[in-house]
A = this chain, B = another copy of it.
Amino acid sequence: MAKIDDVARLAKVSKGTVSNVFSQKRRTSKEVTERVLSVSRQLNYVPNHIARSLVTKKTMAIGLTIPHGNFFFSAFHNQFINGVILEASYYGYRVLLDMIPAQKVRTPFLSSYPIDGAVVMSPTTEDERINLMHMENIPFVTVGRVMNENIDSSPSVDNDNQTIIYNICKYLIDKGHQNMMFLNANELMTVAIDRNEGFIRAMEDHHIQVEEHMIQHKPAILSTEYMDYGYDETIQILGKLNKKVTAIIADDDRTAFSVMNAIKDLDLRVPEDVSIFVICGDLSMMVQSNPSLTSMDLQPSELGAQSVRLLMHKLGVLQGDFPEKIIVESKIVERNSCTELVPPHSI
């Protein structure tokens, strides 16, 4: 591999000049520029990224910290990641996928993170990844609210989760539903906490008693029940316990599908007997399922892009003031899985 000295020698300039031709940090005459570029092509020279990083103290990479454990990407994560990569590449940044829990790093591999900053997805309460970032002084942005004891505030991008659930409930209540089941995300995730508050507030505002069966939480990602979350809950609550649930709010498309299967197995129909509302689902899956599923568009790709932009501000790549919190818009997309509730006596 050719080095900067080789180019400098052949182009009869100093290495400082060669450096400048590539970094464009100060002007070089057209003549010299072309000579250097020509020699570089000839020697197949490209600046060494590592050496550059050592002195500039910039790696031009950001970390994307995804929930660890035996994790699984959903369509939501997908789209989100797409947004992150696209936006990062716009600023010349690469994306390092990160999932190694702090404790598990073996000593021989221990070293600083070769990233300039990080985007932390789906924080939990007392999220250890966030503590790690904080300790190592790595600038970070979260997608979702931070709830760590020692960390007062940090830039974040989020949907307005409380309002989202509130509006979903209102949407269903307006259709006559009074008895709903909310299949929330895992209880450790801060988003689940916010959503619960929204749910409870909606019920209170509409004078509906919140019963225990109404709020469920996704099992831990490691558990065997994780994959078909929604099935057992539906069978149990609607079947065995015979709670007269008429509407189910599902965390994601996978959950919704599980629910639909359970409903079929209970000899019930969607939406005639039970309405289903999906919070974050893959657009194409929503449209193509049968019946098509009414859902919330959370704009995951926009969440990703905005989180990167926020991080770029923190890193000084983007100038000017920037907000500490960015709320990404979301809106209900009506399809065919939610229907007006027909009171029993009117049949």
Contacts and interface: CB of A to CB of B under 8 A. Distances in A.
A108 B24 contact: yes
Interface of A: 1, 22-24, 44, 46-54, 59-61, 64, 71-73, 77-78, 81-82, 85, 89, 92, 94-100, 106-114, 135-137, 227-228, 254, 257-258, 260-261, 264, 284-285, 287-290
Nearest to A98: B94
Contact of A73 (B23, B60, B81, B228): B81
Contact of A50 (B23, B59, B81, B287): B59
Nearest to A253: B285
Given A22-B111, A60-B109, A257-B285, 15 more contacts: A1-B112, A24-B107, A46-B136, A47-B110, A50-B114, A72-B78, A81-B97, A89-B99, A94-B98, A227-B284, A228-B284, A228-B287, A254-B285, A258-B288, A290-B290
Contacts of A98: 94
B49 A114 contact: yes
Contacts of A47: 110-112
Contacts of A288: 228, 254, 257-258, 260-261
A266 to B, nearest CB: 14
Oligomeric state, in copies:
2
Contact of A112 (B48, B64, B136, B284): B48
A110 B46 contact: yes
A95 B94 contact: no
Contacts of A50: 50, 53-54, 59, 112, 114
A262 to B, nearest CB: 10
A176 to B, nearest CB: 26
